[in-house]
Structure 1
Amino acid sequence: MIQYFKNLDSKTVEIDKPEVGAWVNVLPPLKQEEFTELSESLEIPLDFLKDSLDIDERSRYEIDDNVKLIVIKTPTENNSFNESDAFYITIPICIILTHNQIVTVNSFENEAIKKFLNTFQNRHPDKRNMMVLKIFEKVTTNFQDYLKEINLRRNTLEQKLYDANRNEELLQLMRIQKSLVYLSTALRSNELLMMKMARTNFLQLNEEEKDFLDDLIVETSQALETANTYTNILSSTLDAFASIISNNQNEVLKRLTTLTIFLSIPVLIASIYGMNVPIPYKDTHLAFWLPVIISLIILIYVVANYWKSKKK
């Protein structure tokens, strides 16, 4: 699906065809016919449009016949039905600067483009570089929002795990850990992209735009540090819970072993006394009570010594 937007009197208006200064937004479902038509009408290399279809496309930029392509990664919710997959993944957004328009191509709907659409009435289509930087800003804000949500969910799951020690919470924490890997990898890629753009001045920015890009680099670096911090905290938490579970298991096994030893004493005496050989008092009522009394005396002695040694 292809959308065309234009800014008229500080209002976002959807139009039927691309015009000078318009914003072209390509959303799923993506069709080959639409790509071909858009490529021919706006003189965009077809590969630039198809790059967004690869979910593993890295953050980068390139230029072909004065048409500029910028690929940046943004987080989104994972709609997979697999319960072991990450809660959040990252997807590419392709930003294409043609001779007269700015084009964004998305393989999935994402919050960054929605936020940019909500503020498009404040943009100046003639300042295309600033529009690109504003998309970068929405992407960075999107990362920060998802990191806050991940941290909140992590704290909630950790508290539940402290209270219940269930496998369900551990599985969800592992899904959060996978999400953080996706986010930190994409943030690192975006940071390198922005730093390279600032170094090479790919967009030919003016001083105000350069300062804005520098601020975005700082915010992206901060988001990356936050993601790394959350990843380290979660890894330490999972290691701690693994140690706790192992200690609990050892404690249970220790108690079971002790109980087995205690129970083996009367079993041993009863087994000896029940052998098919002549035994004392076999023809009296003491044939039952004698092994019971002996077992209790020895058992009490062993238990008393056990508790005495445990208190030391």
Structure 2
Amino acid sequence: MIQYFKNINHQTIAVDKPEDGVWVNVLPPLRQEEFSNLSEELDIPIDFLTDSLDIDERSRFEEDDNVRLIVIKTPTENNSFNESDAYYITIPICIILTHNQIVTVNSFENPAIKKFLNSFQNRHPDKKNMMVLKIIEKIVQNFLEYLKQINQQRNILEQKLYDSSRNEHLLQMMRIQKSLVYFVTALRSNELLLMKLERSSFLSLNEDEKEYLNDLIVDNSQALEMANIYTNILSSTLDAFASIIANNQNEVLKRLAVITIVLSFPVLIASIFGMNVPSGFEHSPYAFYIVVFVSLLISLAIGWLFLRKKIF
């Protein structure tokens, strides 16, 4: 699906064709014929439009026939039905600067583009560089917001794990850990992209735009640092709970071993007196009670010994 938006008197107006100064937004579902038509109509290399379909596409920029492409990673919620997948993933978004338009291509629903659309009435389509920087700003803001949500989820699950170490909670922690791995990788890639944009003349930024880009680099570095901190905290938490679970398992096995030892002596005594050999108690009316009393006495003595040694 292709959308065309124009800013007229600080109002976002949807139009039917890509006029000059129009923002072209390509959303799923994506069809090859739409890509072909848009490529011919705006004179855009077809590869620039289809690069966003590869979810593993790296952050980069390139130029072909005066058409500039910027690929940057952005976070989004994972709608997978697999319970072992990450809660959040990162997807590429393509920002294409043509002679008269700015084009964005998304392979998934993108919260950053939605935020940009809500503020599009305040943008100036003729200032393409600033529009690109504003889109990047929304992407960085999304990273920060999702990282805060991840940290809140981690705190809640950690408290639940303190109360009961259930596999369900541990699996949820692992899904959060996978999300953080996606975020750290994407933020590092985006950081390199932004630093290259700052050093190169790809966008031909003026002084104000360079200062704005520098602020975005700082914000992206902050998001990367937060992601690294949360990853380290989560890894330490999982290691600590793994040690706690292993220790609890050892305690249970130790108690079972003590119980087995305590019960083995009554079984041994009963087995001895149950043999078909003379024992001296064949005709005694108290034979059964004597065997039970001796068995209980030995079991209590062994149990008391274990309690004294703090083994049980």
- TM-score calculated relative to the size of structure 1: 0.98
The equivalent residue for 2:26 is 26
Residue 115 (1) aligns with residue 106 (2): no
1:19-49, CA deviations, whole angstroms, 9 ceiling, x for partnerless residues? Answer: 1111000001111111111101100000000
| Residue equivalent to 1:224 | 224
Aligned residues: 311
Determine helix, strand or coil for the equivalent of 2:205: coil
Q: Which residue of 2 aligns with 1:298?
A: 298
Indicate whether 1:192 and 2:199 are aligned: no
What is the match of residue 35 of structure 1? 35
Aligned-partner residue type, residue 128 of structure 1? K
CA distance in structure 2 between the partners assigned to 1:53 and 1:307 by the alignment: 66
SS at match of 2:108: coil
Give the 5 Å matches for 1:1-80. Answer: 1-80=1-80
**Quick one: which amino acid aligns to residue 198 of structure 1?**
E
Structure 2: how far apart are the matches of 1:250 and 1:183?
37
- Is 1:264 aligned to residue 300 of structure 2? no
Aligned equivalents of 1:299, 1:2: Cα separation in 2: 81
State the distance in 1 between where 2:309 and 2:83 align. Answer: 48
> What amino acid sits opposite 1:222 in the alignment?
Q
Distance in 2 of aligned mates of 1:175 and 1:46: 36
SS in 2 for 1:190: helix
Partner secondary structure for residue 284 of structure 1? coil
Could you list the per-position Cα deviations for residues 242-282 of structure 1 after superposition, in whole angstroms to 9, with x for gaps in the alignment?
A: 00100000000000000010011111111111111001121
Task: Encode CA deviations 1:125-172: one digit per residue, 9 max, x unaligned.
Answer: 111000000000000000001001111111111111111211101001
**CA distance, structure 1, for counterparts of residue 47 and residue 302 of structure 2:** 81
RMSD: 0.9
Structure 1 segment 25-174 matched on structure 2, within 5 A: 25-174=25-174
Amino acid at match of 2:265: I
State how far apart, in whole Å, the 2-side matches of 1:121 and 1:285 are: 103
Runs of 4+ aligned residues of structure 1 deviating over 2 Å after TM superposition are none
Q: What secondary structure is seen at the aligned counterpart in 2 of 1:275?
A: coil
- Aligned-residue offset at 1:300: 2.2
Query: What secondary structure does 2:92 align onto?
Result: strand
Q: Secondary structure at the match of 2:29?
A: coil
Structure 1 counterpart SS, 2:146: helix
* Partners of 1:310 and 1:30 in 2: CA distance: 68
Matched with 2:183 is 183
5+ residue gaps in structure 2? none
How far, CA to CA, are the matches of 1:308 and 1:18 in structure 2? Answer: 86
User: 1:205-284 maps to which residues of 2 (within 5 A)?
Assistant: 205-284=205-284
User: SS state of the match for residue 191, structure 1?
Assistant: helix
Q: 2: CA distance between counterparts of 1:178 and 1:303?
A: 48
Deviates more, 1:244-253 or 1:279-288: 279-288
Q: Distance in 1 between matches of 2:179 and 2:173?
A: 10
Question: Shift of the alpha carbon at 1:201?
Answer: 2.6
SS in 2 for 1:310: coil
Quote the sequence identity (%): 72
Moved more, 276-285 or 80-89: 276-285
For residues 4-31 of structure 1, what are the alpha-carbon distances to aligned partners after superposition, in whole Å with 9 as ceiling and x for unaligned? 0000000000001011111000001111
| CA distance in structure 1 between the partners assigned to 2:141 and 2:300 by the alignment | 69
Opposite residue 220 of structure 1, the aligned amino acid is N
Using the TM superposition, give the Cα deviation of residue 81 of structure 1 relative to its aligned residue in structure 2, in angstroms: 0.7
**What is the distance in 1 between the residues matched to 2:269 and 2:112?**
77
One-letter amino acid of the structure 1 residue matched with residue 64 of structure 2:
D
TM-score (norm 2): 0.98
Question: How far did residue 304 of structure 1 move?
Answer: 2.0
Give the Cα separation in 1 of the matches to 2:66 and 2:121: 27
SS of aligned partner of 2:309: helix
The 1-side partners of 2:57 and 2:305 are apart by 68
Partner Cα separation in structure 1 for residue 281 and residue 113 of structure 2: 94
SS in 1 for 2:89: strand
Q: Deviations over 1:41-100 (max 9, x none)?
A: 100000000001101100000000000000000000111111000001000100000000
State the SS of the aligned residue for 2:82. Answer: coil
